[in-house]
Amino acid sequence: MVGMARRIAVRKILTATAALRSAYTVSLASLLLSAAGLALYTWRPSGVVLMESFVWLVEAMSFGGLALAFKVAASRTIVYRARYEILRIESLAVLLAALASLAVSLAAATRNLFHDSSGPTPLLLAAYPLASGAASYLLERLSLRSLDRAGIDMVAVRMIAKKLGLDTVFEVSGGLAVVASNMIGTVLPEKAAVAAMSVYVAYSLLGAAREAAMHLVGVVPRSEYLSTFSKVEAVLRRYSRHQRIRRLRVESYGTFREVELWLEAPPDMTLGEAHREAMRIARLLVHEIPEILRALVVLVPERGREAPRSPRRGSGRAAARPATGSGRSSRPPEAPLQRGRPPRRSGASGPGGVGAGTPPPP
């Protein structure tokens, strides 16, 4: 059973590696568009064109490095089998890509805002940011389609799609600002558009960097935790009669997850039955939820219920002893109890006594 779960995990990693091929396509297209922008800038200098070409260059390097990092991490994980911590390289690559894109975007925007320009960008050059916006939209659709085809919510591909969606707004707004500047005869629309786009892109990239940093240290964002919780609940409702979750702990490896699930079960289950049921549920979680690579399931007794207990031997003898004498005991009086020591309970104690089956809640 353990070998089967490991084979399922390896298949998931290979599926994710195949889904990340879209990152190579995005990287190659970004490199070509960056070269086209630099060629246009050497022919007719323009701050909008230069900023756009730099953004494409950063995307080419970031996405290419991200895809390469995940490929190396996946191959090392398969070689070393259970060392899934190597997959956190993906989150590190996403974090570096987001910070690099943020730095270049802010630097280019600052240069465009405070650089003195003799006049608006030529109207012919507005075709470059508009065409870049169309290319970003098509590449975003390609990334989302590969994500849907794989069936795994990959952090890297989701970050690429989010960045391309931001670039679409960034580039189309820049092209429209160039057209407006030529119609009005001033560079103010270009500068205003660049300032607004810079704030929007910076806010979005900081959010992506924060999420990647949380995945890097193993912390799952609340939205993803709730998503994992709902998927676990759905699997339990479908395949198991034990559906009361006592605790769910989720650890992130970037795209993939490791879960620790505590389920409430009847206290009269034997250890063998509990072990077999826990193994069955763990295998179902790994098989049914694409993001889960490993699962640990613990069955704990239900709250408020106890397993039946047999009476103690001493209490049975005391109950069967016939009464003798006139009612006055001939035994000497008991010694006073020592300070701080509670009296001993008899075997017929009520709930919560010695041998209670329900452990304290964790």
User: In this model, does residue 287 exceed pLDDT 50?
Assistant: yes
Residues 49 and 125 sit within 8 Å (Cβ to Cβ): yes
Q: How many angstroms separate the first and last alpha carbons of the chain?
A: 28
pTM here?
A: 0.59
- For the record, the structure tokens of 238 come out as 């479908």
Measuring CA to CA, which residue among 207, 144, 122, 200 is closest to residue 167? Answer: 200
Q: Label residue 249 by pLDDT band (50, 70, 90).
A: very high
User: In this model, does residue 11 exceed pLDDT 50?
Assistant: yes
Residues 168 and 137 sit within 8 Å (Cβ to Cβ): yes
Task: Give per-residue pLDDT as tens, 33-78.
Answer: 889 988 888 888 777 787 778 778 777 877 777 777 777 767 766 6
Residues 201 and 105 sit within 8 Å (Cβ to Cβ): yes
In the 8-state DSSP scheme, what is residue 308?
-
b/e burial code for range 11-25 (CB count within 10 A of at least 16 → b): ebbebbbebbebbee
What is the average pLDDT score of the chain?
A: 74
b/e burial code for range 307-319 (CB count within 10 A of at least 16 → b): eeeeeeeeeeeee
Q: How far is CA 156 from CA 62, 111, 136, 172, in A?
A: 11, 30, 16, 24
Q: How far apart are CA 22 and CA 148, in angstroms?
A: 12
Q: How far apart are CA 233 and CA 176, in angstroms?
A: 48
- For the record, the structure tokens of 201 come out as 């892109």
> How many other C-beta atoms lie within 10 A of the C-beta of residue 68?
16
- More reliable by pLDDT, 245 or 161: 245
Place of tokens 């198991």: 240
Task: Give per-residue pLDDT as tens, 231-240.
Answer: 899 999 988 8
HSE at residue 228, side-chain half, CA atoms within 13 A, is 27
Provide the Cα torsion 192, 196, 199, 201; round to 10°. -120
Q: In 151-221, which ranges are continuous DSSP H helix?
A: 155-184, 188-216
Task: Give per-residue pLDDT as tens, 168-212.
Answer: 887 888 888 888 888 888 878 877 877 777 777 788 778 878 888
Task: Give per-residue pLDDT as tens, 94-106.
Answer: 788 788 878 877 8
> How many other C-beta atoms lie within 10 A of the C-beta of residue 26?
28
Instruction: Determine which helix (DSSP H) or strand (DSSP E) holds 292, and give its type and residue range.
Output: strand 292-301
Q: How far apart are CA 297 and CA 293, in angstroms?
A: 13
Q: How far apart are CA 176 and CA 306, in angstroms?
A: 72
Residue 317: per-residue pLDDT: 39
Q: Domains, the chain, ranges and CATH? A: 2-217 (1.20.1510), 224-301 (3.30.70.1350)
Residue 304: per-residue pLDDT: 66
- For the record, the structure tokens of 116 come out as 């003195």
- For the record, the structure tokens of 271 come out as 């250890």
